[in-house]
Amino acid sequence: MNAPKNPKWLLASQSELTLRYRLARQAQQAWATRTVEQRARQLEPLRRLLDERLESLADLMQDENGKPRVEAIGHEVASCIGAVNYLCAKAPELLSPRQVSLPWMPNRRATVAHKPLGLVLVISPWNMPLSIPFSQVVSALIAGNAVILKPSEVTPRIGAAIGELLEHCQLPENLVTVLQGDGALGARLIAEGPDKIFFTGSVATGRKVMAAAAVHPIPVCLELGGVDALIVCEDADLDLASSAATWGATFNSGQICASVERILVAQPIMARFETLLARKFERLGPEDQGRITLDRQRAVYDRHLDDANARELTFLAGGGYKDEDHLEPALIRGVPRGDDVAASLVHLEETFGPMTTLLPFRSDKDAARLHNASRFGLTASVFSRSRPRAEALAKELKVGLVSINDIAATLHAFGELPWGGVGESGFGRSHGEEGLMEFTRTQVLEQTRRGLFEFKRPWWYPYDPTQLEMMKRFTQAMAADSWRDRAWRLGRTAHAALKMFKEAPRR
């Protein structure tokens, strides 16, 4: 990659930011005149570019973010290619205007269209520094928008690489602008009044973004934290479930909003499962773990470890640091029954590291109750050999995504599936049809069908007894529960309408 080694932060005045916004809006006006098919064709080269630069992008992510190479390629680059494939194939159809019939006004027809928002601001995180902003930027572009991207100040070179990739698509000048800086720059960019903000990050910063956006007001799409759970029923394949839990709790060193931070286990199998899981945690090697990306995250780790030790919880694995760059994957349960772990910080708060808790449940209803006690609701995973049982339990969970016999975090890789949560995990969606629509505004166009004449509407002025009688009969016709009854009531409505037009013509 030709991304600069040390992208300079933007030390610009507010007037300079205003100029950048104005230039981006001018570029967007021309871009929006192109059809969705034309935009898709212009963005399709990204697929080839990502393929050609796979190794250099992986090098960059390993160097700047510290994640294992297999994750840099499989979780990040592959997800970007999937987003391009999905959006270029499906956006022309999804963004096409659709006709809507109006059964109670057959002389009229309506069209529902999805228009570009204008200029969107994407504020992206450091833990998935390529795939999250890339998919949001491409979604915004194919929907007809201009984009201001502020990457995390922790991973600026990866953000710069996204801008460099897009330069090869020969987009209009100033359509995509990458601006480097910290939270202070983010606040200034919000103050400039984008048409929508897409923020991925912590709950605390998400609240600040909402407060700043509310001043204007500006709509926001927030992907925030998670304390995601994996539920293991007594009929689950324990080898499968324990392997999934090991990976789900520790990949990317747990620095994932959808990391498994709580494991709820049916009480009869608790002892067997925790023994099996502890063995797999202990077998994790240095090649499986990336480094701690953000130094200040250590303060959270230390606070959660200190709290667990103060509560005399049991560490079945981990409990400290391997070295200055790596936290030992920690598996924690309570003593002696295990339910006291539910009050611990590591169980209640997002650790954003390779730490997870074990908590027993007595029934599926109890599992759902324990799961839904969290303030967060991003993803969940359910393991059971019974499909009906797993589906029934999944439906009770207050989350955005549930995976049965797999880790739900995997679903972020699929451009086809909407991604997002509930509660303090945020609102709005990325990916899928729902995610694409986040980058649009809906407009309805309603008009008289071709070939039909215009007339004054019967519900217009003047209000009088004949009109009231007509409206009553029309409303009753809408409530008819059979076509015979409806036909009869519509006949009465027509008779009342004729009387109204004769005795009290519309003004």
- With b for 16 or more beta-carbon neighbours within 10 A and e for fewer, the 46-60 pattern comes to bbebbeebbeebbeb
Cα–Cα dist 202/223, whole Å: 8
Query: CA 397, 275, 360: angle at the middle one, nearest 5?
Result: 30
What six digits make up the tokens of 384?
């059971």
Please name every residue paired with 382 in a beta bridge, in sequence order, or none if there are none: 231, 404
DSSP string, 297-362: HHHHHHHHHHHHHHTT-EEEE--SEEETTEEPPEEEE-SSSSGGGGGSHHHHS---SSEEEEEEES
DSSP, collapsed to helix, strand or coil, labels residue 118 as coil
Strand arrangement, sheet containing 440-448: 98-101, 108-116, 440-448
Q: What is the dihedral of CA 68, 73, 76, 79, to 10 degrees?
A: -150
State which H helix or E strand residue 187 sits in. Answer: helix 183-191
In 42-118, which ranges are E strands?
A: 98-101, 108-116
91, exposed or middle or buried, with CB in 10 Å at 0-12, 13-18, 19+? buried
CB 197 within 8 A of CB 221: yes
Cα–Cα dist 357/338, whole Å: 10
CB 250 within 8 A of CB 211: no
DSSP string, 419-432: B--EETTEES-BSH
- In this structure, the chain runs to a length of 507
Q: Which residues are part of the catalytic machinery?
A: 223, 257
Query: CA 197, 202, 204: angle at the middle one, nearest 5?
Result: 90
10, exposed or middle or buried, with CB in 10 Å at 0-12, 13-18, 19+? middle
